[in-house]
């Protein structure tokens, strides 16, 4: 093996489908401070609003859960903020220090292409990572989520930190590349080059809409009329009931929409040698 061959990038793994019912979309910091009032981002990402709107629409259509994350940076509960303000003093007018998340404020607003609806989650965060609010991980685990799509602003800062924490917590993590934006294309592309397909997968808004390799809408889960399994020796009724009701979640594949390939669960993904697509 030559020195040159050792520097070749690894072969790209085939993309695997996502079960929409166990997937969440994390929309990070899409708010006026980082878009409408931030010309440095708008300049290089003119298609960001349309691509994010497409991503949100696909997720809503397929039944994916949506989480809208907002920055809530205050000296009172963000200890890093003093150092950040010192480093950026006088450098850039669109680099904010304190950013409040209070829906009662007169200037509180959402971007019209990324506004929560009834049933969506709104999560304030005190630092760059969305997991700085511990309720995020509690909600993901409590809702049976095993896959998280991450998008929003700013790619190399809060989107990146949020993706790190999601990955470290054991969730399958995918970054929707064209539904993200940064203060310049170079920063955006550098972030994706460093960590794309290293700790999170890279997908686009169009990828998610693919009926077989994108977000796959699951069929209904039936709770049949079969009698409960008999309690085994050393077991109890609660254990038997839990085992019976959770059968579809523990199976290696979940129901999929008509004509689509079965969607592998996160547990079964780990068992697929070479991340091959399941047929």
Looking at residue 278, its pLDDT comes to 38
pTM of the model: 0.77
51, 73, 219, 78: which is closest to 149 by C-alpha?
Answer: 51
Name the average pLDDT for the chain: 82
CB 55 within 8 Å of CB 179: yes
Is residue 211 located within the same domain as residue 258? no
Is residue 185 located within the same domain as residue 265? no
Is residue 211 located within the same domain as residue 267? no
Looking at residue 229, its pLDDT comes to 67
- 9, part of any domain: no
Is residue 210 located within the same domain as residue 230? no
Copy the structure tokens of residue 227: 């009698």
The H-or-E segment that residue 213 falls in is none
- 5, part of any domain: no
Looking at residue 233, its pLDDT comes to 53
Scanning the structure block, which residue is given the tokens 């790619």?
155
Looking at residue 5, its pLDDT comes to 44
Is residue 67 located within the same domain as residue 188? yes
Is residue 210 located within the same domain as residue 240? no
Scanning the structure block, which residue is given the tokens 């470290």?
168
Number of domains comprising the chain: 2
Q: What domain range includes position 255?
A: 224-275
Percent helix, percent strand, percent coil in the chain, to nearest 5: 35, 20, 45
Where is the domain boundary, 184, 215, 246? 215
| CATH number of the domain encompassing residue 127 | 3.40.50.850
Looking at residue 84, its pLDDT comes to 86
Residue 111's DSSP bridge partners are: 114
Is residue 247 located within the same domain as residue 200? no
* pLDDT averaged over 10-residue windows placed end to end, the chain, 279 residues: 49 78 97 94 97 98 97 88 83 67 90 97 96 97 97 97 97 98 97 94 96 87 80 49 40 41 52 40
Is residue 236 located within the same domain as residue 184? no
């Amino acid at each position: 093996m030559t020195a040159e061959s050792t520097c070749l990038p690894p072969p790209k793994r085939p993309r695997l489908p996502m079960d929409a019912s166990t997937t969440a979309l994390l929309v990070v910091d899409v708010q006026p401070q980082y878009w409408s009032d931030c010309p440095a981002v708008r300049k290089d990402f003119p298609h960001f609003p349309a691509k994010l709107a497409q991503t949100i629409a696909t997720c809503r259509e397929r039944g994916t859960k949506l989480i809208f994350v907002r920055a809530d940076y205050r000296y009172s509960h963000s200890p890093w903020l003093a150092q950040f303000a010192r480093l950026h003093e006088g450098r850039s007018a669109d680099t904010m220090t304190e950013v409040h998340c209070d829906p009662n404020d007169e200037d509180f607003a959402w971007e019209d292409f990324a506004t929560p609806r009834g049933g969506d989650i709104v999560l304030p965060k005190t630092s760059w990572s969305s997991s700085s609010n511990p309720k995020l991980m509690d909600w993901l685990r409590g809702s049976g989520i095993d896959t998280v799509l991450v998008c929003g602003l700013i790619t190399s800062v809060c989107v990146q930190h949020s993706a790190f924490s999601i990955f470290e917590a054991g969730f399958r993590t995918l970054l929707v590349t064209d539904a993200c934006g940064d203060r310049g294309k170079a920063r955006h592309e550098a972030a994706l080059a460093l960590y794309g397909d290293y700790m999170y997968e890279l997908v686009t808004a169009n990828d998610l809409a693919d009926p077989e390799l994108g977000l796959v809408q699951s069929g209904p889960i039936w709770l049949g009329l079969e009698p409960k399994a008999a309690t085994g020796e050393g077991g109890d009724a609660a254990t038997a009931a839990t085992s019976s009701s959770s059968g579809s979640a523990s199976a290696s594949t979940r129901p999929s929409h008509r004509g689509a390939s079965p969607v592998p669960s996160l547990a079964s993904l780990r068992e697929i040698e070479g991340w091959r697509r399941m047929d």
